Chain A
């Protein structure tokens, strides 16, 4: 017997405190009933101003407020919830514990199933909140903390095809911004700077471009930007460096995406619906979107980008991942403890790295 399912999701793995309610109707329709994150204006107002980023580390100060707000906005009563999903990892232990305690308490009090959920699984399945994408599909997750290619083969079934061996792509953006004098995290501003610059001014390295499959390395690129920055004098030089950096990233992604697609097709030889989902905050960069779309359409893949509010950290994706785990018949795991380190693909091979010979 099928019925409507409503899940509460909680996310406190890093800077954002977030809660959301997601509903899947019996006809299969998916709807985000509410999606509250601590960086939103409404939350700041209640705190009388912007919550300083790392004071937000004290998630405990506002977790109850955020959950309350999410329930209020969703217009359902807390008793109508069918289950609670909460990020159990990966992330900062002390942050995870706040959300986990809140989530477990609510689930126990309501006598509803609890799902300790993998943050990366949330990102991996996000697209389903917008429209259904058939398994298996290729996923590129590019954010401040993660950069990896995954073959998403079903709920709970993920194969890692490649990863960064040092810095995450978003981190490379943020640190380049810092070198150019933009306050951390300034990654998104690189795109604006790049618009005014000449992308061919600086020749920057592309580490491990044609080796190590679709693994990536960005630490060396960041250092090269630093060296190049020693010679810049004018504002225009800064724009030029930002543009050259962005161009280099695009060139790296072009090669690596093509490689990942090749590896994905190798695994799924008979696949008909070829889909490539790109999630994570960095996917909001328009030039990166353009590059990925190009590569992808040349190789006959459909590209999907979740909207930005679902690309960055949020709880709707956690509620959705929990809901799907529940539907897939996974057992609730109230006893799960926070997992600071929790790779999606436990069997993924280990990479050496940081400029060393692979």
Chain B
């Protein structure tokens, strides 16, 4: 699917409706394809859905994970595994401790070998046009 920046809003709305606690969203794609931009929109849609004001979402590259509490018992964890090198790092950051209790959004998920069962995989690719991306979405497990 070809997607311009303005189409991302519709896309993030669709995804925010599908995703529930315990579900994970993988965001794959090169630098600058818009993974953080899309994460931002999804997080903001989830907040909107719960009638809450959306927080400021910034890139999690440095911190590796940022948590966004939506309401009691609903937290979004926004991960960026870009700087991680091994499976041990995944355990060190507690990626597997909370996975069934929160909504996970994971950028650069390639390091994860044992993939989450209930997940949405989104791949973003650059196209010849600067403002357009090629986006593929696959649903797995209960997200179907």
B: residues with CB less than 8 A from A are 5, 30-32, 36-37, 40-41, 53-59, 61-68, 82-86, 88-89, 92-94, 126, 130
Contact = CB atoms under 8 A, between A and B. Distances in A.
A151 to B, nearest CB: 18
Contacts of A166: 36-37, 40, 58-59
Contacts of A58: 92
Interface of A: 14, 52-55, 57-58, 90-94, 143-146, 163-168, 170-171, 174-175, 178-179, 184, 219, 222-223, 226-227, 340-341, 350-351, 353-356
A54 B31 CA distance: 21
Contact of B85 (A14, A52, A144, A170): A52
B53 A168 contact: no
Nearest to B67: A340
Nearest to B86: A54
Contacts of B89: 54-55, 57
Contacts of A146: 62
B37 A94 contact: no
The secondary-structure label for the interface of chain B is loop
Nearest to A230: B126
Nearest to B5: A355
Given A353-B57, A355-B37, 9 more contacts: A55-B89, A92-B93, A166-B59, A167-B61, A168-B61, A179-B31, A226-B31, A226-B32, A354-B36
A288 to B, nearest CB: 18
Contacts of A340: 63, 65-67
A174 B36 CA distance: 16
Nearest to A147: B58
Nearest to A13: B63
The secondary-structure label for the interface of chain A is loop
Nearest to A354: B37
A219 B92 CA distance: 28
Contacts of B41: 354
B39 to A, nearest CB: 9
A165 B94 CA distance: 27
B51 to A, nearest CB: 16
Contact of B58 (A55, A92, A167, A227): A167
Contacts of B56: 163, 165, 350-351, 353
Given A54-B84, A163-B56, A166-B59, A354 B64 contact: no
A341 B67 contact: yes
A353 B62 contact: no
B130 A219 contact: no
Contacts of B40: 166, 353-354
8 contacts: A58-B92, A90-B63, A163-B56, A166-B58, A184-B82, A341-B68, A350-B55, A351-B56
A18 B69 CA distance: 29
A57 B62 contact: no
A53 B63 CA distance: 13
Contact of A171 (B5, B57, B62, B88): B62
Contact of B54 (A55, A91, A350): A350
Contact of B94 (A93, A145, A175): A93
A92 B80 CA distance: 12
Contact of A94 (B86, B88, B94): B94
Q: What 5 A-B pairs are tightest by C-beta distance, nearest first?
A: A223-B32, A145-B62, A354-B37, A57-B92, A226-B32
Contacts of B68: 341
